Amino acid sequence: MKLLMVFLSETDMHGDISLYEALVRKLNQKGVKGASVMRGVMGFGSAHHVHRGRLFGVSDDRPIMIMAADEEARLRGAVKDLRELAPHALYLLTDIEHLA
């Protein structure tokens, strides 16, 4: 079992919807077992621009992480389609153990 993590920014868009929504919908279409979106409190990427939440919850372009779990082949196949929507995102794939 593998875990795919995709990192992007809260303000990234795909047409009229958020990019993270478009990516999760694509993962669902590809038959991935499950995916969740997490909004980060603070973070930075390769450009070293710090992203964080501001007073009263107003966004300063907070970081977003999508986590998806499934078999390696299905996740690798999905990443090809995700990269077409979000070529700038950071994609990580790691081993996980499913505990029953």
CATH assignment, 2-95? 3.30.70.120
Q: Which long-range contacts (CB under 8 A, 24 or more apart) does 48-52 make?
A: 51/9, 51/10
71-92 pLDDT, tens per residue?
999 999 999 999 999 999 999 9
Predicted TM-score (pTM) of this structure: 0.90
- Give residue limits of the domains in the chain: 2-95
pLDDT of residue 85: 98
Q: Check if the beta carbon of residue 12 is closer than 8 Å to that of residue 19.
A: yes
31-48 pLDDT, tens per residue?
999 999 999 988 888 888
Q: Give burial (CB, 10 Å; 0-12/13-18/19+) of 38.
A: exposed
State the chain's mean pLDDT as an integer. 92
